[in-house]
Structure 1
Amino acid sequence: MPDQTTIDELLSIMARLRDPAGGCPWDLAQTFRTILPYTLEEAYEVAEAIESGSLEDLRDELGDLLLQVVFHARMAEEQGSFAFPDVVRAICDKLVRRHPHVFGEADLPDAAAVRVHWEREKAAERARAPGGAGAATLDGVAAALPALVRAQKLQRRAAAVGFDWDAIAGVFDKVREELDECRETLAAPVDLHARVHEIGDLLFSCVNLARHLGVDAEAALRTANHRFEHRFAYVEAGLDRAGLQPGPAVREEMELLWEAAKSKP
């Protein structure tokens, strides 16, 4: 269990930083909107720490992310809206409500059943929310999410009400169809917006394929980015050893080094 004194100490430090009498001018100047970019940044740095495999980095980044929660809660408390204990109470209630197989008598025998229940409970919560009785299936999927993450959530919501492919073969066919339509935009002059539209459809269908394969599309692309960085660094190091600089004139050498990089672990 967390050390309550440690949590209290963090809350006390945040209150001191936001104290108009002797607090920090920078912290006092912040609002929910100005802090938002830092909150998003810290969440991504948690992801980076996890992917690096460094638990020490993860510990530090989780602390930075916790600070963001405390910061937002403090500003809300100053406005008389809610405080940190209300945040904790809300998530505790939600976890108990969404796990009736642990805290109640429901029978959810495997992870798939738990996922189905989780999505149904979230839908019920949305319906119970003010103005939610007539809410559409896709309402409430945050527009600020990274596009790949948002695509996955939209697709899961639609799938939960039966709008999904019956078999993965159809998803592969859809990816091929969208790729062909992208290729067609090269065959004749088209408006740039048309290409944007077709590329968007292709990416959306690739996210759908990832979902059907049980792969997180955002994590997969981050992994591909890291792999590309590692391999391209190998290419540049090889060129440097040969006294060369990256550029079109050494394209053949770059390709050879790239193939060599792909064989490395």
Structure 2
Amino acid sequence: MIQRDTDTPDLLSALDDGLLTLTLNRPDARNAMSDPMLEAMERELAFAEGSSEVRCVVLRGNGHAFCAGGDVKAMGDGPPPPSAMNDRIAYQRAIQRATSGRLVAMAKPTLAVVNGPAAGAGLALALACDLRIMARPAFLLTAFATVGLSGDFGVGYLLTRLVGGARAREMMFLPDRISSDRALDIGLTNWVCEAEHLDAHAERIARRLAAGPPKALGYMKDHLNKALSTDFDTYMEHEVACHLDCSRTADHLEGVMAFAEKRAPLFTGR
């Protein structure tokens, strides 16, 4: 395992056999976001997106929480003065595109390991990942209405895609806790397990993702992202081109040979 230098203790990064694990590391603040944390995440996700060494990204929190979202205590200092507001808006837009935006768009599978509360923008980060696994004691919470905010890091868009408009409105307008079992029922998480089994179960899933055919998985993610934003004919034209491009890869040949030989395929990304 290679521990990567993130230039801040607020985010830990480790690369191990194709898995890049990013750990939000402010446990005393329930992993509430800080600018150094988000800027380090931006750099690490850019590395993941461009590196053939990375086959899957895992996002998790240290301690008893996944992420509490924005640092509410710091919000007590008030908003930036009017003269600085435009700069803060530009910064926020850029950092959101580089974090939750990149998790959604990058052509690699991503997994959120939700060990504890995921609230506000922390919920948005979890929803921006392709897949989620939750420990049974964990819960989800939009929280924005509680502090008079409307939501950021793409939360409304992601919620609407995952659970539909009516339920997304319920969660945003009436910010009640969503238990892990309820999250499973309504499609906000893929798996729920007991807390003591979370790490082992998450690693098994992440290893399967990292062992998959990179080009095919990247195209699959692109197709699924486009599915709700384009018409069916346009979607199928793009789908055919990508499918046939995959047919020319060494990974496709390996998959066919492994099927014929009744063994597990070994995909290399070629």
TM class by shorter-chain length?
A: under 0.3
With normalisation by structure 1, the TM-score equals 0.24
Which of the pair is proportionally richer in helix? Answer: 1
Q: Which has the higher contact order (CA 8 A, sep 6+)?
A: 2
Which of the pair is proportionally richer in strand? Answer: 2
Structure with greater Cα Rg: 1
